[in-house]
């Protein structure tokens, strides 16, 4: 990357910062309206109790548990694209990592609210650590999710540190009110050799740590279901199946966000068809893995046909839930995987379309895990029914809108592509070091 290209790269990376054009404010208005509607529905539920939802005595878990698993799954894109690509030293990752890490944090924060929304007594949420019964999967979930949130924030923040001086220099007079914030957050970064070394070590440790953390979160989320005696839930493959599902939906979400932001922020020069092709390979590898896990689960259960699993399998394959199941497995898994890697024109468009289908399909799959397992007649009674009310639907839409809202607000303050990481993969010796920035004492060995 020559000096001019690097300048353009930095310019694009900081382009959205402080820029409030009509499209920006329009998006903020629309997304905020959806989030506020969701908040209103939640407040309504807090005042009136869970009776305002479609949940009932038989189906006592519904949209909230589905969304919790779904949104936390989306956050795996960060762990995958950023950490694994970093560890395998895949150089093409550089312009994508920031977006992937930010998406992870946004989705994770949204997903982590859902266990609280689902509680009958959310006011007692904080008593869980007080009375924590370590044998309960809910306690495992809480420990795993909160550790993972902390790690995801650190994983987003660490690579940001060296970008603050660069961004401040590139922003020029646009940086007036950001200066103090950046100086505070940059922790006195001057780019000395010692600092570089410490940062590289820190990011390396986080990249290693975040993978087992991510794996642990969806494993214990899976145990929430797998430790019960319900049909379709009590499965030994559930933990790895959940982890793979989360990674698959996470990579799909990263493709989507990258595809959208590339257009919105004009990053076409640096995020190219190559990136989408590589991400598609990742998507397909995970998708095929997921398909394999899923088939092996259904074959094992379907062959023996135990009394608890049979009704669920029948309902999923041929019964009331069959439309959703076949829509997911064909339209949300097999077809998009072919679409994403088939040779031909429009690789970017196809990767994005495939990702939309995968993300939607993975939501359906979580629905197919939670609801039929709940509705199944475990006693000699009829199938349970579940139809969500406006409360659950509004909260779901509001929470989904919160993710793009968090992202565009975040990128209004912080560079959308990592400059330091690009410098790193391009080679330290040939990189153009940032000039001495007024306000940043020292300036290193320039």
Partner 1 sequence: MAGPVSRRQLLIGGGLGASAVVAAAAGMSPIRFEAAAESQHVHDEKPRQWAMVIDLRKCDGCKKCTEACQTEHELPQSFEWIKVFQVQDKQGRMYNMPRPCFQCENAPCLKVCPVAATFRVKDGVVLVDQDKCIGCRMCMAACPYGARYFNYNEPPAPTHPFQMKATPEHPVPQQKGTVGKCMFCVHRTAEGQLPACVEACGMEAIWLGDLVEDVATNGHETVRLSQFLKDNDAFRYKEDLGTAPRVYYIAGHGQLLDA
By CB under 8 A, name the binding residues for partner 1: 49-51, 53, 55-58, 60-61, 115, 118-121, 124-125, 127-128, 130-139, 142, 224-225, 227-230, 374, 378-381
Residue 110 C-alpha from the chain's centroid: 9
The smaller minimum CB distance to partner 1, of residues 4 and 379, is found at 379
Nearest residue (CB) to partner 1, 67 versus 280? 67
For partner 1, which is the closer residue by CB, 118 or 424? 118
Give me the least distance between CB of 150 and partner 1, in Å please: 20
118 or 423: CB nearest partner 1: 118
* DSSP code per residue over 245-301: HHHHHHHHHHHHHHHHHHHHTT-TTTS-HHHHHHHHHHHHHHHHHHHHHHHHHHHHH
Q: How far is the CB of 118 from partner 1 (least distance, A)?
A: 7
CB of 142 to partner 1, least distance (A): 8
d(C-alpha 362, C-alpha 332), whole Å: 7
C-beta closer to partner 1: residue 226 or 339: 226
116 vs 338 by CB, closer to partner 1: 116
Task: Name the DSSP letter for residue 81.
Answer: I
Sign, CA dihedral 345-349-351-354, equals negative
CA pair distance 256, 410, nearest whole angstrom: 17
- Our measurement of the distance from residue 349's CA atom to the centroid of its chain's CA atoms, rounded to an integer in Å, reads 21
Nearest distance from residue 44's CB to partner 1, in Å? Answer: 14
Q: Are 151 and 213 in contact (CB under 8 A)?
A: yes
Shortest Å distance, C-beta 61 to partner 1: 6
Give 320: exposed, middle or buried? Use CB within 10 Å, 0-12, 13-18, 19+: middle
Under DSSP, the state recorded for 132 is -
Closer of 290 and 386 to partner 1 (Cβ): 386
CB of 65 to partner 1, least distance (A): 9
The answer to whether 425 and 121 are in contact (CB under 8 A) is no
| Least distance from partner 1 to the Cβ atom of residue 108, Å | 20
> What sign for the dihedral angle of Cα 335, 338, 344, 345?
positive
Task: Scan for tokens 């998006």, then name that residue.
Answer: 27
């Amino acid at each position: 990357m020559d000096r001019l290209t690097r300048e353009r790269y930095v310019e694009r990376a900081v382009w959205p910062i402080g820029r409030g054009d009509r499209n920006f404010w329009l998006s903020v208005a629309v997304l905020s309206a959806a989030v506020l509607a969701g908040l209103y529905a939640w407040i309504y539920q807090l005042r009136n109790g869970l009776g305002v939802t479609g949940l009932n005595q038989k189906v006592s878990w519904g949209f909230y548990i589905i969304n919790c698993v779904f949104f936390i799954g989306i956050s795996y894109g960060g762990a995958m694209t950023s950490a694994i690509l970093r560890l395998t030293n895949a150089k093409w990752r550089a312009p994508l990592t920031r977006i992937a890490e930010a998406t992870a944090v946004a989705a994770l924060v949204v997903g982590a609210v859902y266990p609280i929304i689902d509680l009958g007594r959310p006011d007692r949420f904080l008593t869980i650590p007080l009375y924590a019964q370590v044998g309960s999967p809910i306690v495992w979930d809480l420990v795993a999710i909160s550790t993972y949130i902390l790690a995801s924030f650190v994983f987003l923040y660490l690579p940001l540190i060296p970008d603050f001086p660069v961004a401040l220099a590139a922003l020029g007079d646009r940086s007036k009110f950001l200066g103090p914030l950046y100086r505070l957050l940059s922790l006195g970064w001057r780019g000395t050799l010692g600092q570089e070394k410490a940062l590289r070590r820190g990011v390396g440790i986080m990249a290693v740590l975040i993978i087992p953390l991510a794996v642990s979160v969806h494993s214990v989320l899976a145990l929430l279901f797998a430790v019960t005696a319900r049909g379709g839930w009590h499965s030994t493959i559930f933990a790895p199946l959940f982890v793979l599902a989360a990674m698959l939906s996470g990579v799909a979400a990263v493709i989507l966000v990258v595809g959208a932001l590339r257009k919105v922020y004009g990053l076409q020069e640096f995020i190219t068809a190559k990136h989408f092709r590589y991400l598609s390979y990742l998507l397909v590898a995970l998708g095929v893995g997921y398909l394999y896990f899923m088939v092996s689960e259904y074959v094992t259960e379907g062959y023996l046909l135990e009394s608890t699993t049979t009704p669920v399998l029948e309902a999923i394959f041929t019964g009331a839930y069959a439309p959703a199941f076949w829509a997911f497995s064909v339209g949300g898994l097999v077809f998009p995987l072919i679409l994403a890697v088939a040779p031909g024109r429009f690789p970017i468009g196809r990767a994005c379309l495939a990702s939309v289908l995968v993300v939607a399909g993975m939501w359906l799959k979580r629905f197919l895990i939670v609801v039929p397992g709940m509705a199944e007649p475990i006693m000699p009674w009829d199938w349970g029914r579940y139809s969500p009310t406006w409360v659950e639907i509004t909260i779901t839409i509001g929470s989904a809108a919160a993710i793009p809202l968090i992202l565009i607000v975040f990128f209004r303050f912080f560079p959308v592509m990592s400059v330091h990481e690009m410098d790193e993969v391009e080679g330290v010796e040939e990189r153009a070091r940032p000039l001495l920035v007024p306000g940043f004492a020292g300036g290193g060995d320039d």
